[in-house]
Amino acid sequence: MKERYKLGIITLIFLIFYFLPIENQRFTNAIFEALALAKWYAQEHVLLCLIPAFFISGAIAVFINKASVMKYFGAKANKFLSYSVASVSGSILAVCSCTILPLFMSIYQRGAGLGPAITFLYSGPAINVLAIILTARVLGWDIGVARAVGAVLSSIMIGLIMHFIFLKEERKRHIYEDFEIIRTSTKPSYQIALHIFFMIAFLIFANLEKPSESAIAFWWSIYNLKWVLVILFLTVIIFISFRWFGKNELIQWIYQSWYYAYLIVPLLFIGILVAGFLFGRFGHDGIVPSEWIYLILGENSFQANFIASIVGAFMYFATLTEVPIIQGLLNAGTNKGPALALLLSGPALSLPNMMIIMKTIGFKKTVVYVSLVITVATFSGMLFGVIAN
């Protein structure tokens, strides 16, 4: 049986290379787009976005008491408090669907319930305050408000539905799992809180986007101080790390951060290559022609909103890039309903994101989560399309 299996793989590889359509311009262009997207992600998102997220996740895993996670996110936590904290916690991070993953993985492995963890996972990239403000300014206040309200309600709704669907499994998980990850630190709470606070501040300001010309002076003042603040936060992080934590604790922290990087990075770049091959970058086609999308999304129909939600779910959107993409679609004749559906599913999901989620919570839960995001985005888009048009 094993020999047949090996023969089948060899035969499949042979057929792939034999019929490889390298003469087709769209195919070769899609390969280029896959590599270009991976290069762009490595240059723009790894050093200042993904790596800090790994260190924050490692710190949560090593230093934060399991009881603290259980208090706010655990199965027995107050549901109103739990989901409120999860949605707000995600919204303060201006991160993309991939950068939120190590943070989601760390709180879930520390004992957070599936529902609050999913709410946090969705809210991080979807309820990005800066993106919502930019959406309102560029695409109109109606879409901006609809995105804000839709994203908040969607994060809580999807989290609650996931909680109830997998309630029995979650109860067993909290009975039998030890929620591992190294020993709990005995450091004072204020030291751990400040340590993580400065790392989050570094993450936020290191990835602060340049404001538009029409932005208020306050935002320009903050942006002009961006690198001063980034260097200041980094200096403070290094100082308090060596001042407050011993050698063994620092080794555990670095090891746990590396553990998340080891789990996530390979799958992440495989997903980015596939997403780039299928959809390309903004302004550049992958194997799927952008003209198809423009033609399909012109009406506020179930089909248009459903396809917009699926395309958004599988494409990769870097933080804030969804706004010019949607602006281009609207200028090309896309209806406001599918535009909102794309805004609700796109930033929250991507193909690379799905692959990591699957590794964390399993295939079945991932399929249900992705289906819920697509479904909620579809019907939200349809409702908004009726109101706005």
Domain boundaries, given as residue ranges, for the chain: 31-388
Most confidently predicted of 98-112, 181-195, 298-312 = 298-312
> At 319, is the pLDDT very low, low, confident or very high (cuts 50, 70, 90)?
low
Report the distance separating Cα 57 and Cα 256, nearest Å: 8
Taking residues 52-58, report their average pLDDT: 84
Length of the chain: 389
What sign results for the dihedral spanned by CA atoms 96, 372, 129, 195? negative
* Greatest alpha-carbon span in the chain: 69
Lowest mean pLDDT among 192-201, 220-229, 235-244, 309-318: 309-318
**What pLDDT is stored for residue 348 in this prediction?**
83
* Residue 327, C-beta contacts closer than 8 angstroms, at least 6 positions apart: 138, 139
DSSP string, 307-348: HHHHHHHHS---TTTHHHHHHHHHHTT--HHHHHHHHHHTTT
Residue with tokens 């009406």: 299
Query: Which amino acid is it at 294?
Result: Y
What's the token pair of residue 216? 């208020």
- pTM of the predicted model, to two decimals? 0.71
Residue 388 has a pLDDT of 79
Q: What is the pLDDT of residue 183?
A: 46
- Flag whether pLDDT at 175 surpasses 70: no
Confidence (pLDDT) at 5:
80
Mean pLDDT value across residues 240-262: 89
Task: Give the pLDDT band of residue 63 (cuts 50, 70, 90).
Answer: confident
Predicted local confidence at residue 94, as pLDDT: 56
Q: How far is CA 96 from the centre of its chain?
A: 4
> What does pLDDT average to over the chain?
82
Report d(CA 256, CA 248) in Å as an integer. 12
Tokens of 235: 């200096």
| Of 137-146, 277-286, 334-343, 367-376, the least confident | 277-286
In this prediction, residues 197-220 reach a mean pLDDT of 80
> CA–CA separation, 9 vs 77, rounded Å?
49
Q: Per mean pLDDT, which range of 49-53, 71-75, 229-233 is the poorest?
A: 71-75
Average pLDDT over residues 65-90: 71
Burial class (CB in 10 A: 0-12, 13-18, 19+), 213: exposed
How far apart, in Å, are the Cα atoms of 69 and each of 193, 236, 254, 319, 357?
13, 25, 21, 27, 20
pLDDT by residue (tens digit) across 81-136?
788 877 776 566 656 667 778 878 887 877 778 888 899 888 877 776 667 766 77
pLDDT in tens, 149-161: 888 899 999 999 9
What percent of the chain is modeled with pLDDT above 90? Answer: 19
Tokens in use for 363?
Answer: 């295939």
What is the pLDDT at residue 180?
Answer: 47
